[in-house]
Amino acid sequence: MPDVSRQEQPVAEFQRNGFLISTDRARLDLNVIHGFLTNCYWAKGIPREVVERSIEHSLCFGAYDGSAQIGFARVVSDFATVAYLGDVFILESHRGRGLSKWMMECIMAHPLLQDLRRWILLTRDAHGLYSQFGFTPLQKTDRYMELHRPGVYESRETT
């Protein structure tokens, strides 16, 4: 069984048309990631330290144009049965080039994420992207429960 502890995850890198997708944490630009997330609809106002913690406890995928980070996604998983896909974005300056689809291809092909029983994600406007990878609306909504606290970041001081 492979060692999948947070510190021992092997780096995966994919290159295409001058772009790079990498799971190397050292490449991540927290300013870009936090800058996008704190202004997006799903994480509005998220504190920087929360973004840092979320990255620390996730398998992260950065998308790069040269050395500049232009996209991000993270997967929270036990690497055996389930994965949650979140915080997926490509900066507006690089949209329309197929990069989000390619990033999803890289995520779904990652060796540590194979043969999982269930994938979960939430989206307001990217159903078309995710449906290309087999995601569907919930079939048995009565089985799912949530504790949703949309104002949790409002009570914290942002940096």
Q: What does the pLDDT look like over 101-156, one tens digit per residue?
A: 999 999 999 999 999 999 999 999 999 999 999 999 999 999 999 998 888 888 65
For the chain, what is the mean pLDDT? Answer: 92
- Read off the DSSP letter of residue 9: P
For the stretch 38-75, pLDDT in tens is 999 999 999 999 999 999 999 999 999 999 999 999 99
19: alpha, beta or left? (left if phi > 0; alpha if psi -120 to 50): beta
Q: What angle do CA 13, 129, 126 make, to 5 degrees?
A: 115
87: alpha, beta or left? (left if phi > 0; alpha if psi -120 to 50): left
For the stretch 101-115, pLDDT in tens is 999 999 999 999 999
Q: Which long-range contacts (CB under 8 A, 24 or more apart) does 62-67 make?
A: 62/21, 62/22, 62/23, 62/24, 62/27, 62/28, 62/29, 63/19, 63/20, 63/21, 63/90, 63/94, 63/99, 63/103, 64/19, 64/20, 64/21, 64/22, 64/27, 65/18, 65/19, 65/94, 66/18
For residue 147, the number of C-alpha atoms closer than 13 Å in the C-beta half-sphere is: 1
Residue 77 has pLDDT above 60, yes or no: yes
Q: How far is C-alpha 118 from the geometric centre of its chain's CA atoms?
A: 16
CATH architecture of the region 6-143: 3-Layer(aba) Sandwich (3.40)
